[in-house]
């Protein structure tokens, strides 16, 4: 088992989310196995995040490098960290540090110690890539990844990497893990009312819309607009997002939003949002592995989702209905059928979703599967 691991992370959201909890759980398991605390290297735009203090309390060694510095400076800085920490594994996440990690692995023969290199792909590849980008991908995966192994979060990403001629024997599938305790940690008796902008007195449809185009918010609103022709709606749509989301919605409807529509700012305790909702909608055009869908399932919510490859894993449960991707009419018809049906059936199927996540996609499963990958040798 590895003694020390360096994670290179391009990650700086306001709230820590499932991903940081996954790293913390991995660290706990490694320490039980007698390993040292992991080393985390972030870009400096992460410095002001409150959750960084949680990482310090967990005992991680933290480094922050300038995102404005050029590639050579970043490589030199990270090389010094590697020389000081002497890891046996270097693990990059979210693509930003992949090339540097790959170059470190290629040049490690000039150092006095050995380590293994992993690239962890979390996000979908661009659907339309020009010739220049295709050439870049081929170089990245056939030159810089020569001494590295790749971990992908979905079967679709595995296929995409294979298209770049990357060797299959160095390619690993690892679905994300869902922090069930975080997703279900809300206690109604201790609710933070000021953080939540909607009431739960109507059937509530919840979605996350931080990236308008990728999340397909335009598709969802086109579908909901077909209902809005009615004088009175028996449901409300809650879109979780920041300024970009609010601006997009207000540009579409004006400052006086329809009474069925709520813009909810993100909050740390996401379980508050899931607890107040009845159905979760994902109208994404493409994703690697959706944390939000997994969290919603862990909260007993029924799921309506676009039929994207990144969610093929969710077809193993009866608590998800899929509609044709990018088709607002198909989404409208799906919603109409469900909303006019027996709502108690929705709640029953939502409970099956929770059982499915707890059994197959818990954090403990994720940690165990990653440790198995770390133990593999080419």
Taken in order of first residue, the domains within the chain and their CATH numbers are 5-177+362-375 (3.40.50.2000), 181-360 (3.40.50.2000)
- pLDDT confidence of residue 111: 64
**Distance (Å, whole) CA 55 – CA 65:** 17
Instruction: Give per-residue burial for 113-133: e unless 16+ CB within 10 Å, then b.
Output: eebbbbbbbbbbbeeeeeeee
- pLDDT confidence of residue 357: 93
- Summarize pLDDT for 49-75 with one digit per residue, the tens: 999 999 999 999 999 999 999 999 999
Please state the rounded mean pLDDT for residues 149-163.
Answer: 91
- Summarize pLDDT for 234-249 with one digit per residue, the tens: 789 999 999 999 999 9
**Distance (Å, whole) CA 291 – CA 312:** 14
- Summarize pLDDT for 334-349 with one digit per residue, the tens: 999 988 888 888 999 9
| Strand (E) or helix (H) holding 223 | helix 217-227
Residue with tokens 């198995």: 372
Percent of the chain with pLDDT over 70: 90
Going by pLDDT thresholds of 50, 70 and 90, the confidence category of residue 17 is confident
| Strand (E) or helix (H) holding 251 | helix 243-253
Residue 371 exposed, middle or buried by CB count within 10 Å (0-12, 13-18, 19+)? middle
Is the pLDDT at 378 greater than 50, yes or no? no
- Summarize pLDDT for 169-226 with one digit per residue, the tens: 999 999 999 988 766 665 544 545 447 777 777 899 999 998 899 999 999 999 999 8
Instruction: Count other Cβ atoms within 10 Å, centred on residue 303.
Output: 24
Going by pLDDT thresholds of 50, 70 and 90, the confidence category of residue 232 is low
Instruction: Count other Cβ atoms within 10 Å, centred on residue 77.
Output: 17
The residue with greater pLDDT, 376 or 161, is: 161
Is the pLDDT at 15 greater than 50, yes or no? yes
Going by pLDDT thresholds of 50, 70 and 90, the confidence category of residue 376 is very low
- Summarize pLDDT for 249-259 with one digit per residue, the tens: 999 999 888 88
DSSP class of 36: P
Is the pLDDT at 129 greater than 90, yes or no? no
Please state the rounded mean pLDDT for residues 134-151.
Answer: 81
Residue 226 exposed, middle or buried by CB count within 10 Å (0-12, 13-18, 19+)? middle
Range 27-33, long-range pairs (CB < 8 A, 24+ positions): 27/58, 27/59, 27/60, 29/367, 29/371, 30/1, 30/2, 30/5, 33/1
């Amino acid at each position: 088992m590895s003694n020390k691991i360096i994670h290179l992370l391009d990650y700086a959201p306001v709230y820590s989310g499932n991903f940081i909890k996954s790293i913390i759980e991995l660290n706990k398991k490694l320490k039980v196995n007698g390993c040292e605390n992991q080393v985390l290297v972030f870009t400096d735009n992460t410095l002001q995040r409150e959750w960084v203090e949680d990482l310090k309390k967990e005992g991680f060694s933290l480094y922050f490098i300038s995102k404005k510095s050029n590639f050579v400076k970043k490589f030199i800085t990270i090389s010094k960290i590697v020389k000081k920490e002497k890891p046996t594994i270097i693990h990059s996440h979210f693509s930003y540090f992949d090339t540097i990690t790959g170059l470190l692995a290629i040049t490690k023969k000039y150092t006095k110690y050995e380590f293994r290199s992993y690239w962890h792909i979390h996000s979908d590849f661009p659907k339309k890539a020009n010739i220049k980008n295709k050439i870049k991908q081929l170089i990245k995966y056939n030159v810089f990844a020569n001494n590295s192994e790749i971990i992908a979060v979905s079967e679709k990403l595995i296929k995409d990497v294979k298209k770049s001629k990357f060797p299959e024997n160095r390619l690993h599938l690892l679905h994300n893990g869902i922090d069930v305790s975080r997703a279900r940690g809300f206690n109604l008796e201790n609710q933070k009312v000021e953080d939540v902008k909607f009431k739960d007195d109507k059937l509530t449809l919840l979605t996350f819309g931080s990236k308008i185009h990728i999340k397909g918010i335009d598709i969802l609103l086109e579908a909901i607009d077909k209902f809005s022709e009615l004088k009175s709606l028996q449901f409300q749509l809650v879109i979780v997002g920041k300024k970009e989301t609010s601006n997009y919605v207000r540009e579409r409807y004006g400052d006086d939003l329809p009474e069925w529509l709520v813009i909810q700012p993100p909050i740390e305790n996401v379980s508050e949002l899931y607890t107040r909702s009845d159905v979760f909608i994902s109208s994404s055009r493409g994703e690697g592995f959706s944390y939000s869908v997994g969290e919603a399932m862990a909260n007993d919510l029924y799921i309506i989702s676009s039929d994207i490859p990144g969610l093929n894993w969710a077809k193993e449960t009866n608590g998800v209905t899929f509609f044709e991707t990018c088709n607002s009419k198909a989404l409208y018809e799906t919603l109409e059928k469900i909303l006019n049906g027996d709502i108690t059936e929705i709640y029953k199927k939502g409970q099956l979703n929770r059982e499915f996540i707890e059994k197959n996609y818990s954090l403990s499963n994720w940690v165990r599967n990653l440790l198995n990958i770390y133990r593999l040798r080419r």
